[in-house]
Each structure stands twice: as structure tokens, then as C-alpha cells.
């Protein structure tokens, strides 16, 4: 990946109308030296923003405005990716604070301008903030690059080899495992509660049935006593009638 140039319009400092062309075969290193207040820091910030695709806050976009007379601004970074030219553009609207990314890919076939940061997938993954800080860096960072204990250099190396991505994936996997475990526990708890409720309902129904049967037993026992008493009375009546009948026969 080589940076071949950049362009700026209607931006603060000395970036009202700038077009820098580093050629089709740029040097490995390009040094930018500008007087204070002429847009050096702004240029580096916008180069990083176009490369890593980080959204610019509305406040940051409005602060890029050259003056109160302009409503829109523009920034473009030109790249060679595996010898293929790309132009990463930012259309800035100072009225609503928006920054819309565009990609222009100049190919023999299928080229054109598309909204978004449409770089090759591997390059999109690689160009993270930690690495673009080194791809476009302040001079103050040069001493930190030598000292690998510094967080910026170490972070860039981790980004270069995808270690930060592996850590993110690991954390995501751990999070998903924890979520599934809690979900399984919740399901198990729900099943246990459902089972307990079913047993409780069955117990309550059995107890109600038992009380009803006990009441029926009492009623049946009382009725049985009444019937036994009625049977005894009828038996006594029968005996009395039979005795009377025997007496009458004797008299005849």
C-alpha cells in the first residue's frame, strides 16, 4: 500500500484548496513540514480517518470548516493497493456535521465511484486506528516506535498481526458461552419451576379429591346407619305381624 497524494477543499488552515501529488511511484517515506496553523495536524487526522474508516463526530466535522461562508468541504486520499489505484474521499457537510465516505476505484472494467470505504477485505481489516497511527504519524511518535514497551507501537504491532482481532474474538466467544450458559440455566430453572408447579397442582387436586371422598364416606356411613335402623324396624314389624298371624290361626 502506497500513498500517492491527497486533496483538500474548504478546510481550515491552509487547506482551502490543496492538491498534493506524490507520483505513481512514491517514496517509502513522505515527510510533511508546514508552519503552525496551516493544516498539518488536520491533514494527518483526515488521512487517518479516510484510511481507517472511523466515523467523525459532527463537532469535529464542523470544526474543519474554513470559514462561515462555506457549507461543504472535501478531502481525498489517493492510494496504490497492489498497484491498483484507489481514491478514498470524504464529503463534509458543515451544516449537519456529516462526513460521507466514498471510494473511487480506477479499473479497466467495473470501476467507478461507490459510497463507503470499499477497500479489499484484508486491507479493511488491517487498517485499524492503531496501525494508521503509524502509517500516518506525528514526529513525536518516532521515539515511541523504537521503544516496544510503548503502548502505541505495541498496539500497532498487535493490529498488524491481528492479535487484537483474536483477543476480540476470544472475548466475544467467552461472552457467547456465558450467555448460553445463563440461558441454559434459565431454561433448566424454568423447567424445574414448571415441574414443581405441576406437582403442586397435582397434590392440591389429590387433596381436594380426598376431602371430597371423605365427605362422601361420612354421608354414606350415615346413610348406612339409617338404612340399618330402617331394616331393623322392618324386621321387628315383620316379626310382630307374623306373631299376630300365628295367634289368629290358633284361635281359628
Domain that holds residue 81: 2-119
98 falls within a domain = yes
- Please determine, for residue 162, whether its predicted confidence score (pLDDT) is greater than 60: no
Residue 98: what are its φ and ψ, rounded to 5°?
-95, 155
In the sheet with 84-93, reading across from the earlier edge strand, the strands are: 17-21, 2-9, 72-81, 84-93, 98-105, 112-115
- For residue 166, the model assigns a pLDDT of 54
187 falls within a domain = no
28 falls within a domain = yes
State mean pLDDT over 31-40: 80
86 falls within a domain = yes
In this predicted model, what pLDDT tens digit does every residue of 195-217 receive, in sequence order?
777 878 888 888 888 888 888 88
Query: What is the pTM for the complete model shown?
Result: 0.56
64 falls within a domain = yes
Q: What is the CATH number of the domain that holds 92?
A: 3.40.50.300
In this predicted model, what pLDDT tens digit does every residue of 52-84 receive, in sequence order?
888 999 999 999 999 999 999 999 999 998 888
91 falls within a domain = yes
State mean pLDDT over 174-203: 75
- Which of 77, 51, 78, 48 shows the shortest CA–CA distance to 60? 48
- Please determine, for residue 158, whether its predicted confidence score (pLDDT) is greater than 70: no
- For residue 35, the model assigns a pLDDT of 81
- For residue 78, the model assigns a pLDDT of 93
Domains contained in the chain, number: 1
**Percent of residues, the chain, with pLDDT higher than 70:** 81
219 falls within a domain = no
- For residue 226, the model assigns a pLDDT of 82
> CA–CA distance from 165 to each of 44, 58, 151, 162, 171 (Å)?
25, 28, 17, 5, 10
165 falls within a domain = no
Residue 21 pLDDT grade (very low, low, confident, very high; cuts 50, 70, 90) = very high
Amino acid at each position: 500500500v502506497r500513498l500517492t497524494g491527497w486533496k483538500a477543499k474548504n478546510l481550515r488552515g491552509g487547506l482551502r484548496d490543496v492538491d498534493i501529488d506524490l507520483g505513481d511511484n512514491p517514496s517509502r517515506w513522505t515527510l510533511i513540514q508546514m508552519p503552525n496553523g496551516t493544516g498539518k495536524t488536520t491533514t494527518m487526522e483526515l488521512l487517518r480517518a479516510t484510511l481507517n474508516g472511523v466515523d467523525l463526530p459532527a463537532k469535529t466535522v464542523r470544526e474543519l470548516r474554513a470559514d462561515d461562508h462555506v457549507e461543504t468541504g472535501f478531502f481525498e486520499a489517493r492510494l496504490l493497493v497492489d498497484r491498483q489505484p484507489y481514491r478514498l474521499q470524504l464529503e463534509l457537510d458543515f451544516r449537519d456535521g456529516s462526513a460521507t465516505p466514498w471510494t473511487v476505484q480506477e479499473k479497466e472494467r467495473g470501476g467507478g465511484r461507490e459510497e463507503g470505504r470499499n477497500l479489499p477485505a484484508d486491507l479493511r481489516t488491517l487498517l485499524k486506528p492503531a496501525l494508521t497511527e503509524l502509517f500516518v504519524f506525528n514526529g513525536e511518535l518516532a521515539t515511541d516506535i523504537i521503544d516496544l514497551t510503548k503502548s502505541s507501537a505495541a498496539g500497532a504491532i498487535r493490529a498488524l498481526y491481528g492479535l487484537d482481532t483474536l483477543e476480540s474474538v476470544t472475548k466475544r466467544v467467552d461472552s457467547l458461552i456465558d450467555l448460553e450458559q445463563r440461558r441454559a440455566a434459565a431454561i433448566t430453572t424454568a423447567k424445574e419451576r414448571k415441574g414443581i408447579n405441576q406437582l403442586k397442582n397435582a397434590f392440591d387436586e389429590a387433596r381436594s379429591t380426598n376431602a371430597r371422598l371423605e365427605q362422601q364416606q361420612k354421608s354414606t356411613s350415615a346413610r348406612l346407619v339409617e338404612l340399618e335402623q330402617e331394616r331393623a324396624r322392618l324386621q321387628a314389624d315383620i316379626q310382630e305381624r307374623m306373631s299376630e298371624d300365628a295367634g289368629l290361626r290358633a284361635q281359628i
